[in-house]
Amino acid sequence: MEPPRPHLIGDCLIHIFSFLTEDDLISASSVCKDWHEAVETPWLWRRLSLQRWSFCNLAVLGGEHVNHSWKRYFLRRSHLEMKMTKGQTGGYACKSLRGHTGRVVGLVYLRGNSPQHPDLWSRDATVCSASSDGTVRAWNIQKGELLWCSPVQSPLTGIISDEQRGVVITADSTGLIRTWQGQTGQEVASFSTASPHCTLLQYNINNDWFLTVGTSQGSLCTLADSTLTKKSNIMVCDTFKVNILLVSPDKKWITAGTKDNNDLSPKVIYTESLTYPPEDEDPLCQFLPVAGGQAAVFIPTQPARLAIIHHSEHSNNKALTVFDVSIKKTKYKSEIQVQPVESFPLTVNTWSSHILLEAKGSNCLVVAADQELLVYSLKGALLASFKEHTMSISSLCVDTFRVVTASQDLSLRVLTWKNDRDRGLTLESRYHLLGGSHTMSRGFTHVACDYSSIVASVEGKDGKDVLKAYSFTS
C-alpha cells in the first residue's frame, strides 16, 4: 500500500479546518508544522471574512507596496470590533477638538472609514464642522489636529459633504450656499438663496452632481455641478420652512415637507423634474396621503420605499406609515403611484416635537423620541426599547455595525446589532461614552460615525462648542 501523498494530507486538513472557528484555528496552528501550514491557507481566512462581513474587496489587503494576508485582515478587524463592542478604557483614544468660538450647527465626515471597505492599516479620518462663528473647520480626528479653517462669514446654519468628490457644502444665515475643496478648504463656488434657513441635500445621478436646497419660504432650489448652476425652483410648502428633505436609494424620488404645520402633507417629487425640468410642464409630484410629517427615511435596501412618522387620523397619537413609490407611464402622461405597505401607531410621547427616524436593512426602523430609543419591524412589531439616557436624545447615528445616540445628559450611548433567534435583527445595549464636565458643558448636540470612530459636538456653557472624537484602534 502506497504511503499517503503530502498534498492530500494538506487538502484533507484544510477541509476539516473549514469547520473550525477562528479560536480553534489559532489553537490548531501550534500543534505541528503541517497543521500550521494548513491553518495559514488564505482560503480559510477569506472564507471566514466573507461569512462574517458578507463582502470584502481585495483592496482591503493593501496596495501594491503593502500586502496583508486574509488572516491578518480577519484578526485585525475582529479585534477592532471587539474594542468597539466593549468600549473599555484603553480600547479607544479620545481627543477634544477646540477652536470654534460659537455653536456647532453640524458635523460631517469628509473622509471616513467605510464599513464596506474599512482601511485597517493607516487611513486617518477627516471631519468637518460648521459653527455659528461663521467658520468651517476640518480636523484629523485621530491626531486631534486642525487641518484648515475657512475665512469668517455670516453665521453658518448647515453643513453636508460629498465624500466621493471630497467636497463640503455649507449654508449661512443669509442663504448663501458655498462649496469648499475638502483637502485645502478653498472655496469652489457660491449661490445665494436669500433664505435665513436652508436644508441641504446632495446626490449624484450617474456622473452628474446635484444639490437641492429647501428654503424657509417653502421652496426647493436645485443646483448642478461645481459651479452651482441653477436648474429649477419649485414650491413645496408655501411660507413654511422645508426641514424634511431626502432622496431615495435609486435617486428617482425626493421627499420634501415641513415639520412646522400639522395640516400640511409632505410631497414626493420625481427627481428629473428638478434636475432636468421639462419646458412648459409642471413638475411631476404628489402629496403623501398623511398629514403633519415629523420624520422620514427611505429604506436603504429598497429602490424607493419610504417610512414616515406623522399625526394619526384617529387620535392625538403619532403613526408610522410605509409607502412604495413608483411611476406609471402611459402614451399620454406619467403618474406617481404611492402605495401603502404598512401602517401602525407609535408608542412614543405624543407631545414630543423632536423625533428622529433611521432605517437598517430591509426590516428595521429606529426611532428616538425624548429619552427613548425604539426598534420596530416594518410591520410594527416592537423589537427592542431602551430608556438609558436621563435627558432627551438630540442626535442619532445608525450604520451596519452599531447605533450611537447623543443626549443632552452629556453622554453617548453605543448599541450594536445582533441577530436574535426569535426576533431576528435587534439591538443590544453596550456602554456609555462621557463628554466631560457638566459644570462646563450642557450636553451633546450632534453625532456622526464611521466604521472605527465616533465624533460628537458638546455645547459649551461659555458659548464655545467643542468636538469630542473617539477613535478605536485595531
369-396 tens-digit pLDDT: 999 999 999 999 999 999 999 999 999 9
Q: Is the pLDDT of residue 353 over 70?
A: no
Is residue 31 a part of any domain in this protein? yes
216 and 239 in contact (C-beta within 8 Å)? no
Is residue 180 a part of any domain in this protein? no
Here the CATH number for the domain that contains residue 18 is 1.20.1280.50
- Residue 269 banded pLDDT, cuts 50, 70, 90: very high
Is residue 22 a part of any domain in this protein? yes
Is residue 215 a part of any domain in this protein? no
315-350 tens-digit pLDDT: 678 899 999 999 988 877 888 999 999 999 987 765
Number of other residues whose CB lies within 10 A of the CB of residue 116:
12
Distance CA 375, CA 297 (A): 14
Is residue 72 a part of any domain in this protein? yes
| Range(s) of the domain holding residue 73 | 6-54+68-84
Q: In DSSP terms, which residues pair with 385 in a beta bridge?
A: 374
pLDDT at 114: 77
175-184 tens-digit pLDDT: 999 999 999 9
Mean pLDDT of the region 197-222 = 95
- Residue 63 banded pLDDT, cuts 50, 70, 90: low
Average pLDDT, the chain: 88
Nearest to 184 by CA among 168, 172, 170: 168
Residue % of the chain over a pLDDT of 90: 60
Is residue 18 a part of any domain in this protein? yes
Cell of 89: 478604557
Mean pLDDT of the region 294-298 = 95
- DSSP output for 78-117: HHHHHHHHH--TTSEEEEEE---SS-EEEEEEEE---SSS
Q: In DSSP terms, which residues pair with 158 in a beta bridge?
A: 171
In sequence order, the 6+-apart residues with CB closer than 8 A to the CB of 355 are: 294, 295, 309, 318, 348, 367, 368, 369
Is residue 118 a part of any domain in this protein? no
What backbone phi and psi angles, to 5 degrees, belong to 106?
175, 155
Core vs surface per residue 125-141: b (16+ CB within 10 A) or e: bbbbbbbbbbbbbbbbb
* DSSP annotation of 182: T
The domain total for the chain is 1
